[in-house]
């Protein structure tokens, strides 16, 4: 029997074959359709229990199967899985539309919604009711049949385009290799990077060294390689992903996605896709996002320009570089950082062995929230690189299963993310605990060295683990409001706040020990890490804001209908935030997976928005002590465990006692 059609708790990865996915998902769609029809066709008077709660409890099998499938499509994909995704996505999109455009079902939901004042609902029940009603109304339930049909076509096309966009970025990333056979071309590279490049070449039966566009290969090369010509080649290849002419080009996909999103929003009665998206965010309107971003931009731009001018002067003095280019940025920034702080990432890496950092983040979770992590190899996994853990509380009760997948490979997309294989919910009086996963791309161990992280990778691991804690500590009645099911400009608070612990002496002493000598990281290095935390913060802030504003400019409805050239539009837009000379060979939008494949369209500003929240929240921890139990309990009880059960600003005020103060971020970034 198909393992996806059996009842299971932990995902049965080893039993699942590619050929199981399509028949299982097709069958489970029909099962879910029958569950939904039973609710819609009921002759009983609509109540919260027989309509809203009943609907919330449908589709469990389908949710589990699709979470396994789409997570594998990100972390362990192949041509066959990608083909199945192209078949499955339209089916799911069609089913979702059938559900949301089901008039009988919507009438029952609407009946309960209109009568909500007379129902004795608690906050969570009320939130679920509102979420369900909006789920229908925001997806066309109030439209005419003709417009519903238009909406279905748009949604089916968008789901395909989004998949194709991601496949093109992955294919373009995998298609490029820089094969080096001259040892002089490796000048400046740390030994660990050379060894990893030699290993990558050997795995493909090639002599010499192989540099790729995967982050653990790409970033150290542009940061350390002395050969400016090769840095340029690699940088341009990275910037040209899915932009170079050919079958993996994403320009038309970008234009089609943007056009269809705008049409969809207007069909539903919204001015733009951004207006549609932001109705369900803390920010509420595009104007709020623009005001917030431009205010930060005004404060960051002078600092960014000053930092850039200093970097350019430094490069000229050091190597006679007349005009600083994008491929010089990381290289000279690293040199300047070393000169200013005598802080070399390569000197730090021996203190950040991956296993130690994992133990460190586990210890932080234990000290703050009373969690214990025990590796359990008996939990089924989808790749030998994955580590599996059983997470328990102080009483020994199961809190979550945790999957950790930390190394790059051909079938895995770049970047880092948190995901879930099973949501938390309280059903039939049982608190069903979640299954959470962190996926990253850190350098693999080599024959002579373990996996050693840069400090930036340490903060990435803590960041994703913060999302993981949001999933693990969920404690709500309904899966649709559980864990990270919150407004997208609130979802980054748990992840970004956890990064702050990486800069604290109390934390670093828990895990930052030299992998060869066992020596704890010297105080001198800890102080330098703290001192350098705001290094080039102006340029970093400018960069993040420019991405967020680019996202808004694609989606705020002000896009001229005449835009038919992605690069020209982007170049004109970046003119206000660009420090480096323009490179006609590269394009940001064609590989901007966050907004064209992930869920961040009209929401990329969320990173900066959440930074304000996290800076203000961590200031509270600093006032009381970074491992203060009272503050940690409040954060757990009002933020991590509550999911999307209440308005996020109300939850934040319950935790903090006040609204977030933007000055906390500017102060931390050294921009005040």
* Residues noted as catalytic: 464
Distance separating alpha carbons of residues 361 and 461, to the nearest angstrom: 8
Tell whether the torsion through CA atoms of 113, 115, 117 and 119 is positive or negative.
Answer: negative
Distance separating alpha carbons of residues 589 and 354, to the nearest angstrom: 32
> For residue 353, how far is the Cα from the chain centroid?
24
Q: Find the angle CA(376)-CA(378)-CA(384) to the nearest 5 degrees.
A: 90
Q: Find the angle CA(42)-CA(47)-CA(51) to the nearest 5 degrees.
A: 55
Say whether 141 sits in a helix, a strand or coil.
coil
In angstroms, the Cα distances linking 353 to 278, 513, 661 are 41, 8, 36
How large is the greatest C-alpha to C-alpha distance in the chain, in angstroms?
Answer: 81
Q: Which residues contact 504 (CB under 8 A, 6 or more apart)?
A: 626
Q: Find the angle CA(137)-CA(138)-CA(139) to the nearest 5 degrees.
A: 90
Distance separating alpha carbons of residues 80 and 207, to the nearest angstrom: 31
Q: Which residues contact 43 (CB under 8 A, 6 or more apart)?
A: none
Are 200 and 217 in contact by the 8 Å Cβ rule? The answer is yes
Which residue in 445, 456, 218 sits closest to 343, CA to CA? 456
| Strand partners of residue 179 | 210
Phi and psi angles of residue 418, each rounded to the nearest 5 degrees, phi first = -110, 145
Sheet holding 398-405: strands in order across? Answer: 372-375, 387-392, 398-405, 435-439, 417-422
Distance separating alpha carbons of residues 528 and 652, to the nearest angstrom: 32
Q: Which residue has the tokens 């612990």?
A: 501
In angstroms, the Cα distances linking 240 to 205, 237, 329, 545 are 27, 5, 17, 21
Which residue in 481, 482, 442 sits closest to 462, CA to CA? 442
Structure tokens at 311: 């970097």
Are 20 and 4 in contact by the 8 Å Cβ rule? The answer is yes
Distance separating alpha carbons of residues 372 and 259, to the nearest angstrom: 48
Tell whether the torsion through CA atoms of 594, 669, 359 and 219 is positive or negative.
Answer: positive
Q: Give the count of alpha carbons within 13 A of 271, CB side only.
A: 11
The angle, 0 to 180 degrees and rounded to 10, between the axes of the packed helices 79-100 and 60-75 is: 140
Are 389 and 376 in contact by the 8 Å Cβ rule? The answer is yes
Are 155 and 96 in contact by the 8 Å Cβ rule? The answer is yes
The DSSP letter of residue 657 is S
Distance separating alpha carbons of residues 333 and 536, to the nearest angstrom: 8
Structure tokens at 665: 């971020």
Are 655 and 612 in contact by the 8 Å Cβ rule? The answer is no
Are 594 and 603 in contact by the 8 Å Cβ rule? The answer is no
């Amino acid at each position: 029997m198909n393992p996806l059609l059996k009842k299971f708790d932990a995902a049965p990865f080893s039993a699942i074959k590619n050929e199981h996915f399509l028949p299982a998902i097709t069958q489970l769609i029909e099962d879910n359709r029958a569950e939904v029809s039973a609710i819609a066709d009921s002759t009983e008077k609509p109540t919260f229990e027989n309509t809203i709660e009943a609907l919330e409890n449908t589709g469990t099998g389908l949710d589990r199967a699709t979470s396994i499938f789409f997570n594998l499509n990100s972390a362990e994909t192949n041509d066959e899985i990608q083909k199945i995704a192209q078949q499955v996505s339209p089916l799911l999109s069609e089913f979702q539309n059938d559900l949301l455009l089901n008039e009988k079902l919507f009438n029952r939901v609407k009946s309960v919604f209109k009568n909500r004042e007379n129902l004795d609902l608690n906050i969570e029940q009320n939130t679920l009711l509102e979420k369900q009603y909006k789920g229908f109304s925001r997806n066309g339930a109030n439209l005419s049949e003709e417009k519903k049909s238009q909406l279905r076509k748009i949604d089916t096309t968008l789901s395909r385009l989004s998949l194709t966009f991601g496949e093109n970025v992955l294919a373009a990333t995998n298609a490029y290799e820089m094969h080096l056979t001259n040892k002089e071309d490796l000048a400046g590279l740390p030994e660990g990077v050379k060894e990893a490049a030699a290993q990558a070449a050997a795995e493909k039966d090639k002599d010499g060294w192989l540099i790729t566009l995967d982050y653990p290969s790409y970033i150290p090369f542009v940061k350390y390689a002395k050969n400016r010509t090769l840095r340029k080649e690699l940088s341009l290849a990275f910037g040209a992903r899915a932009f170079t002419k050919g079958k993996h080009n994403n320009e038309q996909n970008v234009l089609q996605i943007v056009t269809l999103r705008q049409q969809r929003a207007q069909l539903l009665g919204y001015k733009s896709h951004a207006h549609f998206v932001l109705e369900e965010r803390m920010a509420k309107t595009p104007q709020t996002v623009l005001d917030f971003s431009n205010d930060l931009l005004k404060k960051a731009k002078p600092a960014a320009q000053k930092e850039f001018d200093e970097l350019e002067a430094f490069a000229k003095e050091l190597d006679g570089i007349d005009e600083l280019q994008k491929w010089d940025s990381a290289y000279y920034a690293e040199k300047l950082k070393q000169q200013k702080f005598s802080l070399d990432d390569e000197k730090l890496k021996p203190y950040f062995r991956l296993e130690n950092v994992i133990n460190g983040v586990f210890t932080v979770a234990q000290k703050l929230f009373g969690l214990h992590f025990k590796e359990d190899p008996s939990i089924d996994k989808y790749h030998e690189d994955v580590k599996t853990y059983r997470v328990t509380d102080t009483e020994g009760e199961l809190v979550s299963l945790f999957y950790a997948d930390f190394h790059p490979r051909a079938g895995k997309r770049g970047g880092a993310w948190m995901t879930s294989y099973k949501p938390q919910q309280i059903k039939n009086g049982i608190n069903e605990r979640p299954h959470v996963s962190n996926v990253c791309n850190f350098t693999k161990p080599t024959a002579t060295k373990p996996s050693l992280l840069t400090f930036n990778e340490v903060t990435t691991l803590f960041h994703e683990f913060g999302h993981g804690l949001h999933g693990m500590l969920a404690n709500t009645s309904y899966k649709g409001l559980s864990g990270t099911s919150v407004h997208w400009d609130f979802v980054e608070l748990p992840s970004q706040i956890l990064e702050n612990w990486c800069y604290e002496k109390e934390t670093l002493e828990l895990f930052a020990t030299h992998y060869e000598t066992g020596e704890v990281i010297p105080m001198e290095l800890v102080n330098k890490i703290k001192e350098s935390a705001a290094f080039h913060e102006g340029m970093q802030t400018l960069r993040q804001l420019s991405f967020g504003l680019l996202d808004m400019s694609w989606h705020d409805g002000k896009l001229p209908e005449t835009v038919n050239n992605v690069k020209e539009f982007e170049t004109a837009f970046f003119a206000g935030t660009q420090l480096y000379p323009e490179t006609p060979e590269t394009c940001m939008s064609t590989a901007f997976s966050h907004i064209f494949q992930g869920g961040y369209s009209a929401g990329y500003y969320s990173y900066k928005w959440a930074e304000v929240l996290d800076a203000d929240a961590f200031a509270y921890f600093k006032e009381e002590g970074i491992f203060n139990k009272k503050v940690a309990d409040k954060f757990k009880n009002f933020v991590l465990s509550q999911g999307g059960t209440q308005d996020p600003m109300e939850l934040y005020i319950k935790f903090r006692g006040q609204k977030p103060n933007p000055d906390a971020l500017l102060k931390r970034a050294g921009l005040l």
